[in-house]
Amino acid sequence: MSGMNFTKEKTVGVVVDLDIDRIYANPDQPRTPRYDEGLSDLADSVRLNGVLQPISVRRCGDRYELISGERRLRAAKMCGLTQIPAIIYDMSDRNSAILALVENIQRQDLTFFDEASAIERLITIYGMTQEEAASRLGKAQSTIANKLRLLRLTPPERELIIRNRLTERHARALLRLGSPSERLLVLDRVIKNSLNVDKTELLIDE
């Protein structure tokens, strides 16, 4: 935050207090089943201490599109706040969407399938290569490739994996099987017998 200060004389790149009702959510922020977990705790913290880290927005006409910090914004609304500290950035639609997706991918509450889907959007919608996506996210290109492979699993398979709290390594092991019917058969045995990754791989080898 070097070079930023709490003045309202210049609005771009500095921290200002914005009216909450003038801020709307970025459409490139997908929701997850665990998205609301801990939101009430965050609201309690905001109620006691205020919003300690400014949200990021960009100006769109007389309103502001949220780039990052939606949980802080929602917590502030829960507390009945009418204003929130924000940093206003001057950027294009494309850069705003990319930044929102990158921040979303780096969140800790995403499932690995949500993360893979968001990475796929960076590549297919915004024309990035796997290498460019890896650089943006601070990951190895091989890591990005492995995450994208997870999207070969069908929606029912993904649902079973997430609902039963299996790991990304479980999911990658299942990709060694050629058909959804085989994978569902193995998934059923893995879930019923609470198999760890090593035992899952042995079952797949059989």
pLDDT at 9: 37
> Could you give phi then psi for residue 156, rounded to 5 degrees?
-60, -35
Separation in Å, CA 71 to CA 49, 78, 86, 89: 15, 10, 13, 19
CB 54 within 8 A of CB 96: no
Over residues 115-127, the mean pLDDT reads: 86
Mean pLDDT score, 10-29:
79
Q: Which residues pair with 88 in a beta bridge?
A: 12, 57
Average pLDDT score over residue span 150-178: 95
pLDDT at 167: 96
Residue 161 has pLDDT above 50, yes or no: yes
Pairing mode of beta strands 83-89, 23-24: unpaired
Question: What does the pLDDT average to over 68-79?
Answer: 90
**Confidence band (pLDDT; 50, 70, 90) for 1?**
very low
Residues in the chain: 206
- Higher-pLDDT residue of 170 and 62 is 170
Out of 24-33, 60-69, 124-133, 176-185, give the one with best mean pLDDT: 176-185
> Which pair of structure tokens corresponds to residue 133?
């996506």
d(CA 16, CA 10): 9
Find the mean pLDDT for residues 175-190.
94
Closest among 145, 193, 134, 189 to 174, alpha carbons compared: 189
Is the pTM for the entire model greater than 0.75?
no
Active site residues: 70
The conformation of residue 64, written as its DSSP 8-state character, comes to E
Q: Are 16 and 86 in contact (CB under 8 A)?
A: yes
Q: What angle do CA 25, 27, 30 make, to 5 degrees?
A: 100
Strands of the sheet with 23-24, listed across from one edge: 15-19, 83-89, 55-60, 63-68, 23-24
Higher pLDDT, 20 or 89: 20
Beta bridge pairs of residue 12 = 88
E strands, the chain, in order: 15-19, 23-24, 55-60, 63-68, 83-89
Euclidean distance between CA atoms 203 and 33, whole angstroms: 30
pLDDT at 8: 38
| Least confident residue range of 64-78, 93-107, 156-170 | 93-107
Average pLDDT in the chain: 84
Category of 193 on φ-ψ map: left (φ > 0), alpha (ψ -120 to 50) or beta: alpha
Residue 94: the pLDDT is 72
Tell whether the model's pLDDT for residue 97 goes beyond 80: no
Is the predicted pLDDT of residue 2 greater than 60, yes or no? no
- Two structure tokens written together for 31: 């929701």
Query: For residues 137 and 202, which has the higher predicted lDDT (pLDDT)?
Result: 202
Question: 25-29, 115-119, 165-169 — which one is most confidently predicted on average?
Answer: 165-169
